[in-house]
Chains A and B, each alone.
Chain A
Amino acid sequence: MSVIEIKNLHKIYNESEVKVHAVNGINLSFEQGEFAAIVGPSGSGKTTLLNMIGGLDSPTEGQIIVGGTEINKLKAGKLIDFRMRNIGFVFQAYNLIPVLTAKENVEFIMHLQGVSKQDREKRTKELLIAVGLGDRINSRPSKLSGGQQQRVAVARALASKPKFVLADEPTANLDSKSTENLLDIMEKLNKEENITFIFSTHDARVVKKAHRVITVEDGKVISDERK
């Protein structure tokens, strides 16, 4: 069974005078353990698609089924809870809480989930070591580089043991070395722990690393290749 099932998805923005058909009839499914990139020109609808998969935005039409739950039918409160338990997020920026240390940022969601202190600390340590920040556990985000911050964000996204991780242009603000480093870490986690990653990108080097590349244009999938 697929982790994510997307059926006939549409999103129309009509707040302004011109209607924007940002997602225009997308059908997709993702299996456990995929490492998929969504690519396409600016304005093609990548962010809109990811936001709907993550339950941050609601579709105008269509269905998104995550592990058997149709998330577009969930009530707002339930949806927040569902997100917290099933989906990990990495954003382009503003991922971390500036007043918390790396360790506390990773612990934060587990804390909301009510994980015991002991388990929390163990997992946080493992994750920060896995992303290569075992020695920066007590640093605040402002004391970390952009690449290090994004690695903390990846660790944070994984902390809640989600079904999959969504990342919208996670490397957009990073230099090429940090980009490669982050991708390597994501790939390693994907391989070793079979974690599903879905990320959007403009970056050809990132695309190269992906095992599946989905190209969108004008809100439609124009190609879907597996390597």
Chain B
Amino acid sequence: MGLEKFKDRNVGIQQYKVVEHEAFPKSNAQKFARVMKRMVKGELFVGLWVTLRTMYQALFQDDMHTVKYPFEKLPISPRYRAIHEMLRLLESGHYRCIGCGLCEKICISDCIKIDTKYDENQRKEVTEYTINFGRCIFCGYCAEVCPELAIVHGGRYETSSQQRASFSIFEDMLTPIDALSSQKEYPGFGAVSPNADDNIKKTPLAY
């Protein structure tokens, strides 16, 4: 693929379809002919037929489009970017975050706050990790940049709450330790793509 396609800033008009439109009548005779044609064509009845058919389909062929929202939910795309989740290592149950701070650095609305310290084994331990969801714009950069797939976007989009804090503390976002077995390798935003192995290239050092 060449670069031209990326450089074409005229997004969209390539797919426009010009609506077929008959010529406007010029003389009175043509106008009269058009009125007569429209009168006999019965297009109004086509309109009536369409709505009746829709009603029939909705009632008897299970083509009702209403989703009774709080009781039924539509599936969301795995790439949907809702409230973040912090994942755990499946083997040890320890949180995956290594405290590298990349997410804090990349966050464009500056809403991640992370603090770390060395524990007794001289490993980094996350002492504080919060996301200010009043500022987060759900851009997904943090999930994208995380080297450990530790922070990902979950599917929790019903975010009305009395306090923002009930979403934004590390422990709230972390997979509960007893639910560890049901933690899924997240297929959505921030996850490696299915063909990630194919995309790995040897670095020049190997030559």
**A and B interact physically:** no
